[in-house]
Amino acid sequence: MSSSNPLRDPRDRRLPRIAGPSGLVIFGVTGDLSRKKLMPAIYDLANRGLLPPGFSLVGFARRDWENEDFAQVVHDAVKEHARTPFREEVWQQLAEGFRFVPGVFDDDDAFVKLRSTIEELDKARGTGGNFAFYLSVPPKFFPSVVQQLKKHGLSHGQGDSWRRAVIEKPFGHDLKSAQDLNQVVHEVFRPSDVFRIDHYLGKETVQNILALRFANTMFEPIWNRSYVDHVQITMAEDIGIGGRAGYYDGIGAARDVIQNHLLQLLALTAMEEPASFDASSLVTEKLKALRAVKLPKELGKHTVRAQYAPGWQGGEEVHGYLEEEGIDPHSKTDTYAAIKLEIDNRRWAGVPFYLRTGKRLGRRVTEIAVVFQRAPHSPFDATDTQELGQNALVIRVQPDEGVTIRFGSKVPGTSMEIRDVTMDFQYGESFTESSPEAYERLLLDVLLGEANLFPRHEEVEQSWRILDPIEEYWDQHGRPEQYTSGTWGPKAADEMLARDGRSWRRP
Ligand SMILES: NC(=O)c1ccc[n+]([C@@H]2O[C@H](COP(=O)([O-])OP(=O)(O)OC[C@H]3O[C@@H](n4cnc5c(N)ncnc54)[C@H](OP(=O)(O)O)[C@@H]3O)[C@@H](O)[C@H]2O)c1
């Protein structure tokens, strides 16, 4: 290809990338994640022309379904949750490649059937032996599914064909279990064929952190300890645990959100510029940042965990966590967690990173706020700037994606008064294209074999290294605080920042 015409260069990342001949097997296809996210994402990819014509989808679960029953379930899920409009001709072509395999994970016959189904699809649809296995199942089944794939000769393709494993979160519940799980997975699949899902990395705004930092000149010179006072990373939910008591109790907010999503956001915010955007350069830099993360000495002062108490949310009276159906009334599981971390390197020495997440908080919002130091000297009278806060750059990850810069401006009039104003970039206003769903992006990357947006095992291990001592400390010290549902969390979290002379943002 001529490099003088970049639009024709296959390396041009602006061109739509279309997956080659392939198929996807979803274990746990009747589950919540599959219906709400995976099935719609597959349809949306097909609708955008990004799947190969013979793309095939195999569902595996404990139901006595025929292929037609399965197709009906996918149809309903797509109608309800897909992002792009329903088009009958796209649907018809896609649905021809649907197969259902009923079975339990320890049932050898089911895996024999799965194997013959894949062979049939290779012949009928030209999938070329290329299959990804998506483990959308409760984490305790990850090892057995992976071992069954090996036992039945499904984990490796013939010749040039590929087999890949996609593993949902949580990857382990502490460092030891993550290492054990990894050992099982890597006995079966090569590391480069394992795709660990952290769906936050598939979000447009999260990828934009790298564009913002490294495609511009104006941010990076001040992105360090000389100008940054501290960083706040927040993921707040306004819902409770819903019907997920079985999954959530015993796991809690820190393991569910900080270990993966928030530490990944921290790594992207704190890392150095990668040599390129290939997966290994990105991982190298994220890992360096994660390895430099240091826990504060006094965990009692610099971490807070809490549970939601009854309160009001969205005009409705809601239960406290301990009254939720299926929750042990003595449970110590955290539904809110806040921790202070430091990054022990030249760029960030002395700059705290405050991470917090919680359920039943004031609003659903995820953001990274880089808060800058105050001006070193002010020629204004103290009264002029009394209302002025600190400059901040806020990357809004969800729900209303964009970037806000907060700075001081003179209030119009004859007096001299300086107050905070904001400058806003909103995805919806600046671009006509709507952002693909995270799972669309990630599923396509799996089929393309692109690993940039999937955490490697070393990153998962580093995250557990950071979290394990905190979880152990919490285990040994008392019970979680309580916070009223619909508020911004426990008093102890406000006190934690107040001791450092700072306060949480109210997004
Ligand atoms: N839901 C979310 O938003 C979300 C978000 C992040 C991560 N995840 C992760 O994604 C995975 C799936 O979550 P989910 O919410 O979809 O779970 P779920 O609703 O509980 O679904 C679990 C699926 O596993 C199947 N299954 C369970 N035990 C089985 C067995 N012994 N043999 C065969 N199939 C079995 C179930 O099939 P049956 O129909 O036969 O019961 C069902 O399809 C989990 O690892 C979870 O941690 C979910």
DSSP-derived secondary structure for 93-117: HHHTTEEEEE--TT-HHHHHHHHHH
312 CA distance to ligand 1 centroid (A)?
Answer: 30
Confirm or deny that 62 is annotated as ligand binding.
Answer: yes
Name the residues annotated as catalytic.
261
Is 11 annotated for ligand binding? no
- Tell whether the model's pLDDT for residue 152 goes beyond 80: yes
pLDDT value of position 442 = 96
Give yes or no on whether 21-168 and 201-438+450-498 have one common fold: no
304 token code pair: 């807070």
Q: How far apart are CA 54 and CA 22, in angstroms?
A: 8
Query: Do residues 388 and 408 lie in contact, with contact meaning Cβ atoms separated by under 8 Å?
Result: yes
For 112-135, what is each residue's pLDDT tens digit?
999 999 999 999 999 999 999 999
Query: pLDDT (tens digit, 9 = 90+) per residue, 456-495?
Result: 999 999 999 999 999 999 999 999 999 999 999 999 999 9
pLDDT tens digit sequence for 51-106: 999 999 999 999 999 999 999 999 999 999 999 999 999 999 999 999 999 999 99
Work out which ligand 1 atom sits closest to the CA atom of 35. 16
* 203 assigned to a ligand binding site: yes
Query: Crossing angle for the helix pair 263-270 and 457-476, nearest 10 degrees?
Result: 120
Instruction: Give me the DSSP letters along 22-71.
Output: -EEEEETTTSHHIIIIIHHHHHHHHHTT-S-TT-EEEEEESS---HHHHH
Peptide bond into 274 cis (omega under 30): no
Give the pLDDT score at 306: 98
CB of 400 closer than 8 Å to CB of 434 = no
Q: Show me where the domains of the chain are located.
A: 21-168, 201-438+450-498
Is 237 annotated to bind a ligand? Reply is yes
- pLDDT bin (cut points 50, 70, 90) of residue 4 is very low
Model-level pTM? 0.94
For residue 46, count other CB atoms closer than 10 A to its CB. Answer: 24
Instruction: Indicate the DSSP class of residue 151.
Output: H
Q: Is the pLDDT of residue 2 over 50?
A: no
How confident is the model over 219-254, as pLDDT tens digits?
999 999 999 999 999 999 999 998 888 889 999 999
Ligand 1 contact via 255 beta carbon (within 6 Å): no
CB of 34 within 6 A of ligand 1: the answer is yes
- Whether ligand 1 lies within 6 angstroms of the CB of 106 is answered as no
Q: Is 148 in the pocket of ligand 1 (CB under 6 A)?
A: no
From ligand 1's centre to the CA of 269, what distance in Å? Answer: 32
* Residue 105 CB less than 6 A away from ligand 1: yes
3-class DSSP string for 159-204: CCCCEEEEECCCCCCCHHHHHHHHHHHHHHCCHHHEEECCHHHHCH
If you average pLDDT over every residue of the chain, what do you get? Answer: 94
Residue 199, marked binder: yes
pLDDT of residue 263 exceeding 70, the answer is: yes
| Centroid of ligand 1 to alpha carbon of 61 (angstroms) | 9
297 annotated ligand binder: no
For residue 92, the SS3 value is: helix
Indicate whether residue 241 lines ligand 1 (CB < 6 A): no
| Burial class of residue 266, CB neighbours in 10 A (0-12, 13-18, 19+) | buried
Return the DSSP state at 345: S
- Residue 264: closest CA among 207, 345, 224, 188: 207
- Amino acid letter for position 437: E
Q: What pLDDT is attached to residue 415?
A: 87
Ligand 1 atom 19: the closest Cα is on which residue? Answer: 31
Give CA–CA dist 301/403, Å, rounded: 32
* pLDDT greater than 60 at residue 6: no
- Cβ of residue 165 lying under 6 Å from some atom of ligand 1: no
Which ligand 1 atom is the nearest neighbour of the CA of 62? 40
441: pLDDT strictly greater than 90: yes
CATH of domain 201-438+450-498: 3.30.360.10
Q: What is the DSSP letter of 436?
A: P
Per-residue pLDDT tens digits for 205-222:
898 999 999 999 999 999
Q: Is 61 in the pocket of ligand 1 (CB under 6 A)?
A: yes
For residue 431, count CB atoms less than 10 angstroms from its CB and return exposed for 0-12, middle for 13-18, buried for 19 or more: exposed
Q: Which atom of ligand 1 is closest in space to residue 199's alpha carbon?
A: 6
Cβ proximity of 295 and 463 under 8 Å: no
Ligand 1 binding pocket mutation candidate from 34, 58, 62, 177 (most atoms within 8 A of CB): 62
Q: Is the CB of 38 under 6 A from ligand 1?
A: no
Whole-number pLDDT of residue 321: 97
Rounded mean pLDDT of 268-292? Answer: 95
Looking at the predicted structure, is the pLDDT value of residue 372 above 90? yes
Annotated binding residue at 359?
Answer: yes
Structure tokens at 367: 């953001």
Cα of 135 to ligand 1 centre, how many Å? Answer: 8
Quickly state the pLDDT bin for 11 (edges 50, 70, 90): low
Residue to mutate, 33, 171, 260, 443, ligand 1, most ligand atoms under 8 Å from C-beta: 33
**In 10 A of CB 140, how many CB atoms?**
7
Q: How far is the CA of 60 from the centre of ligand 1 (A)?
A: 11
> What confidence score (pLDDT) does residue 1 get?
40
Q: How far is the CA of 136 from the centre of ligand 1 (A)?
A: 5
Sign of CA dihedral 285, 290, 296, 297: negative
Query: For 21-168, which CATH class?
Result: alpha beta
Model confidence at 385: pLDDT above 90:
no
What torsion do the CA atoms of 482, 484, 486, 490 make, to the nearest 10 degrees? Answer: -50
Sequence-distant (≥ 6) Cβ neighbours of residue 27 within 8 angstroms: 60, 61, 105, 133, 134, 135, 136, 137, 141, 145
pLDDT at 5: 52
